[in-house]
Each structure stands twice: as C-alpha cells, then as structure tokens.
Amino acid sequence: MLRPVSTFLHGRNAFYVSLLLLPPLLWLGTIYLGSLFALLAQSFYAIDEFTARIVPELTLATYRQLVTHPANVDIVLRTLLMAVAVTVACGIVAFPVANYMARHAGPKLKAFFYVGVMLPMWTSYLVKVYAWRLILAKQGVVAWGFDTVGATPLLDRALETPVIGGPSLASSYIGMFIVFVYMWLPFMILPLAAALERVPGSLLQASSDLGAKPGQTFRNVVLPLALPGLAAGSVFTFSLTLGDYIIPSVVGAPGYFIGMMVYQQQGTAGNMPLAAAFSVVPIVLIALYLSLARRLGAFDAL
Amino acid sequence: MRSRKNWQGASLGQKLAAAAGLVFLHAPVWVIVLYAFTTEDRTYQFPPPGLTLHWFEVAFARSDIWQAMRLSLVVASVATLLAIVLGTLAAFAMARRSFPGKESITLLFVLPIALPGIITGLALLAGIRAVGFEPGFWTIVAGHATFCLVIVYNNVVARLRRIPPSWVEASMDLGADGWQTFRLVLLPQIATALLAGGMLAFALSFDEIIVTLFTAGHQQTLPIWFYSELFRPRERPVTNVVAVVVILVTLAPILLAYYLTRPDEQAPGG
C-alpha cells in the first residue's frame, strides 16, 4: 500500500522533504513558537493597579517596573551572581575528573568514568534536590560528618557568615550553592572531557621537551585547548542556574531568584505580564553570555 | 591496561581528586536509598537509628501515589509515542539534504531544550490561556512531547548521518524500491537509535517537573506529588520510598538506552 506512495515520492525531493517536515514543524510552530509569542506579548502588557486585570495594550510599563524597582534588580543580580559562582565552581571541580578520565584512564576505566558521570546526571532531578535537603539538614549527613571529626565549630562559624550563612546548611546560600554545583557538574565534566580527549599527546611532550614545567604546560597548552569544552559546559551551568526555581525554593535562603519570581508572579500574585518580563531576563543574559564567550574566542577551536 | 600514549601517569593527588568527584556525584543517591529504610519518621537524623521495610508497605497502600504514578506513566507513554513519530519524520527530512531555511529549522529543533524549562513552561501556559484551553492531561502531554521530540530527533538524525549514502544507492541499484530500502536497509540501522531516543524521552517525561508545574492544572503527576510533599510532608519516609521508586523507573530505560547506543555498536553493521 505504501509502495506506490514511496515510488511516487522518489525523485521528488522538495515535495518529499516538505511532506516529512510538515507534521513536526506544524507541532513546534504552533504549540511551541506560538506559545513563545504569547509569552512575549504578555510581557508587553501591564496590569491595571486598581482592577488587578491585565490590560491588553502594548506598553513598556512592565519592563520599566522590572528595571526600576530595586527589589526586582536585586533578584536579577542575586541570580546572576549565583550563576557565575556556580559556573566557576563547576569548572574547578570538573577539571580533575574530566582530566583524569580523558587523559589518564585506560579504556575500561574510562568507560567506567563515563557511566559514573552519566548515571547521576540522569537520576531523577527532583529526587537529587530532595536528597540534598536531607543531607544538609540540621541533623543530616554533613552535620554528622562535621561532628564525627570534631569540626562542628567550623561549620557553625561558616553558617554565622553574614548573607551567605543561615540557621542550617539547608536554609543558607552556601547550601544552595553546593546543590547547584552538584546538579550541573556532569554537564561541565562531559564537554570538558571531550575537549581534553582531543588534546594531542605530542603537544604535551613537545612542551615538556622544550623545558616547560607541568604547571606551565597546563597553563599554556592544556588550558587554551580545553577552553571550548569549558565554554560549552559553562553555557549549560550558567543557563541552568538562571532558569531554575525548584532548587532555590527547596534548599536555601529566603531571597528570591528569577525562576521563583516567575513562578510566584504567574501563580499566587496573578501578574502574568511581570512573570513574562522576568522570564525574558534569562534569555537576554544567556544571549549576552554567548556573545561574550564567542568574542573571547571560546568557540574558535571547535 | 595503561596504554603507552599516556606519556605521563596520573599522580596520586589527581587520582584521588577524580575519585572524590565521582563519589560526590553518587553519594546523595545512596543517602536517599538508605533513608527509605529508616525507622525515624520526624527528623532527617543521620545515621538512621534503625532500618525497616515498613515504609514500603505504607507507600504501597497509598492510593494517591498509585494515581500519580499511573498518570505519569500514561503521560510519558503518549508523549513518547508522539515524539517518536514527529522526531523521526524530522530526522529523515534533515539528515542529509540541504534546502533553504534549513538553518532556522535546525535552531527551532534545539530551542525547546536550549531555553530554560521555566521559559518553556510559562510560554506554554501563556499559549494555553491565549487559546482558552483548560490545563490538564493533554496540555501536560503537549509540553512533554515538545522537548521529547527534540531528544528523539537528535538520536535518530545522528544515526542517519552515519549510514553511508552508498548503502541506499546499492539497495536501489539492486532493484529495491524506496519503501523496500527504508524497511530493509534504513529501519534496521536506526532501530536501536529510535529505541534509545524513545527510552530517554520516556525517562525525561516521567521525571519532568519544571514545565509540568505550569501546564498541569489540577492534575497531579508523580513529580508534582513529590514536589508538594516536600512542602507539606505527611509521612516523610513514604516520600523517601517514592524517591527510590522514581530512581528505579527512570534509570532502567536510561541504562537500556545507553547499552543500545554504546560506541562500539554505533558503526552501522558493527
């Protein structure tokens, strides 16, 4: 039954391609792009302060509110700062793991490491966040660990730090930061390992033959060649942190993050335009980040 | 076996740092498994004062968990089926030919997973409200199918690009028509990629929370049940038991997908 159809289509390339593309494009075009436009339109509406209803007239009032209210600016800065800190930390923690699996491990051990990194990455997101709440809780694993080695005063000192501290790790920015780093670490390890695998061994040998110390080789040869991997990983860690609202609401201090603000404004606050405007912020920041990374030459070696 | 091209072995410090990274990634999962057996039901006391299987029994008897579980399984199945059909069609169109506008279409196919989930979620909600739909089962499915489609597409298109074009030519030269070539040459080659993509899509959908919270209306998938339990816990150890079940349900298809697309099996014909 299908044979005459396929015979008819064979050779009619353009027709064949458009027939294949029609259903998926129709799906993404209407449901996804249509929704994105609806979202963008909402951000140019504003809410009437007296009736609390959305006025469907194009205006920049909501964006003005976003950039002029100090509380809103604080939320954006807080989220941005966290995203930068998490990205830097992920790069530092990921490097030894990626470096070992890419350049030192034999084939068997390498496969073990890849599976070892991918399994936790694919483990349920919500379960992992929840696990950290247990681990960081007042009587949780971390507190127990500090107590066992007699370092509880050290933990208390850290929690007394203004701003980043809190009553327990589970309700402080330190705890939130640890959870973010944990959650996105595999997204940094995998592209970094892929980039490090492509570093030719002969270059390292040449560098050491020419008298470079291991540290110099690392700084002048390995690091520049690993930059595309670091850049690719950092795009993940940066953008995932910017958009997340589960982690800050399950683990962390009372300060709002962009994602939480979006969720709260569309829900209990009923201010869809402000939620929409807030959700545009991560898109803009990610676009800025990408162009910055490109200008720094992060993608040149790809 | 250490190959010779590793001109310099790793120092003890490097080995320890790599091992520590791996332990850091795995420890939380083991902690949650341990907590599912704890006898302590009020605090998160560590180490647990005792171990019991009691909470599995309690969780098993809870109808709300079963209901959420059933909804999640049905949503994941329907979304995966939709994604397999749409993603495969797209992959066949995009694998080789070039045509005007291909670049922008490629961008469209990565956008749903490139943009943060919260944007997809809020956008879908805005879209649902704009057309006056009631959020519910089908809006959850529509949201999930959108990013599942991308997963299937990526898997299948990568496999299709690795099949040498000469295979299709050879098949045609030997007298097969287009349909026979698809069924006998292409389909067996993409079968594992298709299955792997479907498995990943299923696992992603089963576990999805960020988009679902926006599109679910009053429906409760298992992740939404779990999320609400985090803020209004009824029986904490029951949440831990569900966590273990969720880990198992998501990891099984993912491990299967991994073995289906292992590097040594990726070359067509092996």
Strand ranges inside chain B, DSSP E: none
> Mean pLDDT, 10 residues at a time, over chain B (270 residues)?
49 90 94 87 79 86 92 96 95 84 86 88 93 92 95 92 88 85 88 90 93 93 92 82 89 84 51
Which pairs with CB-CB distance under 8 Å and at least 24 residues apart come from B248-255?
B249/B203, B249/B206, B250/A122, B250/A123, B250/A124, B250/B203, B250/B206, B250/B207, B251/A119, B251/A122, B251/A123, B251/B203, B253/B199, B253/B200, B253/B202, B253/B203, B254/A119, B254/A122, B254/B199, B254/B200, B254/B203
pLDDT of A127 reads: 92
Phi, psi of A55 (to 5 degrees): -95, 115
Q: Select the more confidently predicted residue: A261 or A53.
A: A261
Contact A31 B127 (CB under 8 A): yes
Contact B92 A132 (CB under 8 A): no
Please say whether the beta carbons of A100 and A83 come within 8 A: no
**Paired tokens of A180:** 């973010």
| Å between B16 CA and nearest CA of chain A | 9
Domains, chain A, ordered by start: 14-38 (no CATH), 70-295 (1.10.3720.10)
Please check whether residue A27 touches B, CB under 8 A.
yes
Model confidence at A302, pLDDT cuts 50, 70, 90, reads: very low
Topology of domain B58-265, CATH = MetI-like fold (1.10.3720)
| Å between A23 CA and nearest CA of chain B | 6
3-state secondary structure of B51: strand
Please check whether residue A243 touches B, CB under 8 A.
yes
Residue ranges of B 17-46 with Cβ closer than 8 A to chain A? 17-18, 21-22, 24-26, 28-29, 31-32, 35, 43-46
Domain residue spans of chain B:
11-52, 58-265
Please check whether residue B113 touches A, CB under 8 A.
no
Please check whether residue B12 touches A, CB under 8 A.
no
Query: Residue type at B135?
Result: P
Please check whether residue A96 touches B, CB under 8 A.
yes
Out of A6, A116, A138, the one facing B179 most closely (by C-beta) is A6
pLDDT of B89 reads: 93
Interface test with A, best of B119, B148, B225, B238 (most A CBs within 10 A): B119
Contact B116 A34 (CB under 8 A): no
| Å between B162 CA and nearest CA of chain A | 19
- Which residues of chain B neighbour A140 with C-beta distances below 8 Å? 44, 46
> Mean pLDDT in chain A?
88
CA separation for the pair A165, A145 (Å, rounded): 19
In chain B, which residue's Cα lies nearest the Cα of A184? B25
- Residue A54: strand pairing partners: A47
CA separation for the pair A59, A48 (Å, rounded): 12
Q: Which residues contact A217 (CB under 8 A, 6 or more apart)?
A: A204, A207, A208
Model confidence at A181, pLDDT cuts 50, 70, 90, reads: very high
In chain A, which residue's Cα lies nearest the Cα of B95? A17
Query: Residue type at B222?
Result: L
pLDDT of A41 reads: 92
Please say whether the beta carbons of B162 and B266 come within 8 A: yes
Please say whether the beta carbons of B35 and B220 come within 8 A: no
Contact B226 A130 (CB under 8 A): yes
Looking from the CA of A36 toward its CB, the CA atoms found within 13 Å total 16
pLDDT of A2 reads: 64
Interface test with B, best of A101, A122, A261, A265 (most B CBs within 10 A): A122
Out of B111, B126, B203, the one facing A276 most closely (by C-beta) is B126
Contact A124 B213 (CB under 8 A): no
Kindly give the residue spans of alpha helices, DSSP state H, lying in chain A. Answer: 2-9, 13-27, 34-43, 61-68, 70-103, 107-122, 125-136, 141-148, 152-160, 173-197, 201-209, 214-217, 223-243, 246-250, 258-266, 272-295
Place of tokens 């799906």: A27
Quick one: which H or E segment has residue A54?
strand A54-55
Within 10 A of A35 (CB to CB), how many other CB atoms are there? 27
Q: Select the more confidently predicted residue: A185 or B117.
A: A185
pLDDT in tens, A146-167: 989 988 888 888 888 888 888 8
- Which residues of chain A neighbour B203 with C-beta distances below 8 Å? 122
pLDDT of A4 reads: 65
**Mean pLDDT on A189-206:** 90
| Å between A47 CA and nearest CA of chain B | 15
Task: Calculate what percentage of chain A has a pLDDT beyond 70.
Answer: 94
| Å between A126 CA and nearest CA of chain B | 7
- Smallest Cα–Cα separation from A192: which of A84, A299, A294, A98? A98
pLDDT of B4 reads: 40
Q: Select the more confidently predicted residue: A36 or B44.
A: A36
pLDDT of A53 reads: 80
Please check whether residue A97 touches B, CB under 8 A.
yes
Specify the range with the lowest mean pLDDT, choosing from A194-198, A279-283, A293-297, B236-240.
A293-297
Please say whether the beta carbons of B146 and A32 come within 8 A: yes
- Between the two ends of chain A, the Cα-to-Cα distance in Å is 46
pLDDT of A8 reads: 63
Contact B116 A242 (CB under 8 A): yes
